[in-house]
Amino acid sequence: MGIDPIGYKPWTGKLTARHDRILVIAKTLFRTQLRSKWFILLLVLGYIGVFAFPIIFNALMPHTELDGITMSTELGSGLLFMFTVLLASLVCSDSISEDLRSNSFVLYFSRAIKTESYLAGKLGGIFLTLALFCFFPPIIMAIAILGTQSGSDYLPGLGILALTVVAAFVTTIFLIPFSVFISSLTKRKSHAAIGTFMTFMVMTIIGGIFSEFDANWNLVSPGSMLEYFYDWIFGIGIPQSINEGILAAVFAAFIIIPMALVYLRVKQKAEGK
Amino acid sequence: MTPSPETTITSKNITVSYGHITALDNFSVNVPSGIVGLLGPNGAGKSTFIKAVLGLLVPDSGQITIAGKSLTTEGEIIRDMIGYMPEHDCLIDTFTAVELVSYMGQISGMQKKDAMPRCHEMLDFVGIGEERYRPISSYSTGMKQKVKLAQAIVHDPKILFLDEPTNGMDPQGREEMLDLVKKIRASDKSILVSTHILDDLEKVSDHAIIIGEGRLITEGGLEELLAGKESLRVVKVRGQAPDMEKFLKVLGDVYEVRSITPESGQTSIIILNQGDGTPIFRLSKENNVQLRAYYPHKASLEDVFVGAMENKGGDQ
């Protein structure tokens, strides 16, 4: 009977507020991801390949101020998008599929955790993890460019910095709902990861092919969608051929539809169906 | 059915359906405090009842009250008071036992500084040693059952639901698990144990609820159920074969004989006797057989269960 058989002792502490438990789920997911050697490897490669050189280059290159075109170009780079997709595929892959595989939903939902709280915790954990690549480095880049400008007027640069925060936030959250949705469809995280990556790649290819007939097909491609969004955020303006209404609708659909499906799927699982 | 002051769970006319299948059919029961066994064959509705009580599934109709609180309006408060050990595999097997139990403690509302020492205390209690630092995927079934119990009690819930706690365990493991349940009971908890292993329940429970095809078949204190509603008596006699034959014939004329079992050198007879035992003594003397014992028959839980299921069949 174990190393030290003891009797049952009651616990007399005080329970935390229920919303604090969302943070526990988020922190646990974040810590688990930080232990993944694949995640660390991709993160380091991404830092070096996507951010280190552009930060050094942009800081050393003579410039009078931080401008929107520079930040939009840097954020819209294909390499950054590729690493974002790879990391989103990796990080989101086991968010729900792990619980599907181990049937552990019951452990959460037999406690005072609602479907909304569970999802908020999972999404929070994924956001924290992806923010290490998609949120903080672009802001650091903007600060580096702002800090090394030759001009004396910092006000426009600070405005661009604020917009960079918004753009970095959009980059971080944009791929999460769809990736989590794919994770909620399978019990195997490898299937979820490959499925997520391939889906984004196929969407990019489809967007590329059909945009020959109508430029709005570009909106099917998540990378192009983000590029248009950066242009819109930094005030550069989107091409005339792109319908702004369709852009907004597709962007909302990328976020809302997968999240609604994930919610229904988890709710179904919570009820043991 | 009026709930007693000690009633932990009250369910009134609960109906739960999965498509065309009715898992619980107007199920009403008052679950008292103490260790209560929920008995029934596979598919009887035991797990469905537990899930409904946990709020994991919403009944089609009916009301559930736990510790005086309505599950519909105060579900989260109730779930803070509950610990649940599921029947099936549910552990996140990439975690170690320490990680899992402290994580479950924290999402039950414990602070990390409380959850970690409490987790070790509970793992000590259930008998998980240094293995606690290994991933759960490397554990045996018995160890997984113990971790499931540890995560259910880590936040010291007032009410505990154990769904098939000895599932897949060897005899020694079963004994250990039942011993743990008894120890937890000592700290004044209400424990609802769902099982189809009747021996297990007989060892630990105070009260039993027998459920079949989603309906309440019978319920009551274990002693009351085992004593039986009928006045069965055991008569043990010894004598020569011709005398025994005569005695059994006369006994059969007077009483309803339920069973005759030869034992080493004597015969054990179970009869239905509503009156006192004087005529038995007289009959044995008249027939020249030696009456060795005469006492009330105590049924096993299995007898009660089989009897209840047969009566249910007869009722339909």
The pLDDT tens digits of the residues spanning B149-171 come to 999 999 999 999 999 899 888 88
Q: pLDDT in tens for each of the 273 residues of chain A?
A: 555 557 888 898 889 998 899 999 999 999 999 999 999 999 999 999 999 999 999 989 888 889 999 999 999 999 999 999 999 999 998 889 999 999 999 999 999 999 999 999 999 999 999 999 999 999 999 999 999 988 888 899 999 999 999 999 999 999 999 999 999 999 998 999 999 999 999 999 999 999 888 888 989 999 999 999 899 999 888 888 888 888 889 888 989 999 999 999 998 888 766
Owner of token pair 């019951």: A106
Q: Closest Cα of chain A to B109: distance in Å? A: 5
| Tokens (6 digits) for B77 | 């408060």
Measured in degrees and rounded to the nearest 5, phi and psi for residue A260 equal -65, -40
Nearest residue in A to B53, CA atom: A110
| Tokens (6 digits) for B150 | 């540890």
C-alpha A146/C-alpha A154 separation (Å) is 7
Give the residue from B52, B31, B49 showing the smallest Cα distance to B189: B31
Q: Cα separations (Å) of A229 from A95, A127, A211?
A: 27, 19, 17
C-alpha A199/C-alpha A151 separation (Å) is 45
Tell which phi-psi region holds residue B39, choosing left (phi > 0), alpha (psi between -120 and 50) or beta.
beta
Per-residue confidence (pLDDT) for residue A198, from 0 to 100: 94
C-alpha A7/C-alpha B105 separation (Å) is 19
Per-residue confidence (pLDDT) for residue A263, from 0 to 100: 95
Q: Which amino acid is at A209?
A: I
User: Are the Cβ atoms of B90 and A103 closer than 8 angstroms?
Assistant: yes
Per-residue confidence (pLDDT) for residue B44, from 0 to 100: 85
User: Are the Cβ atoms of B56 and A110 closer than 8 angstroms?
Assistant: yes
Per-residue confidence (pLDDT) for residue A185, from 0 to 100: 92
Strand bridging mode B215-221 / B69-70: unpaired
A30 lies within 8 A of chain B by CB = no
User: Are the Cβ atoms of B186 and A270 closer than 8 angstroms?
Assistant: no
Query: Could you say which of B94, B107, B186 has the minimum Cβ distance to residue A111?
Result: B107
CB count in 10 Å sphere of residue A150: 8
Number of structural domains chain A divides into: 1
A271 lies within 8 A of chain B by CB = yes
CATH no. for B232-296? 3.30.70.120
Structural domain contains residue A5: no
Range of the domain at A175: 20-270
Q: Which amino acid is at B78?
A: I
Structural domain contains residue A133: yes
Per-residue confidence (pLDDT) for residue B18, from 0 to 100: 85
The tens digit of pLDDT for each residue in A6-25 reads: 788 889 888 999 889 999 99
Structural domain contains residue A172: yes
Per-residue confidence (pLDDT) for residue A272, from 0 to 100: 67
CA angle B223, B225, B230 (to 5 degrees): 115
For chain B, give every domain's residue range: 7-227, 232-296
A98 chain-B contacts, CB cut-off 8 A: 92, 94
User: Are the Cβ atoms of B125 and A8 closer than 8 angstroms?
Assistant: yes
**Interface mutation vs chain A, best among B80, B88, B107, most A CBs within 10 Å:** B107
Segments of chain B scoring below 70 in pLDDT: 1-7, 227-230, 299-302, 308-316
CATH topology of domain B7-227: Rossmann fold (3.40.50)
Give the DSSP letter of residue A47: I
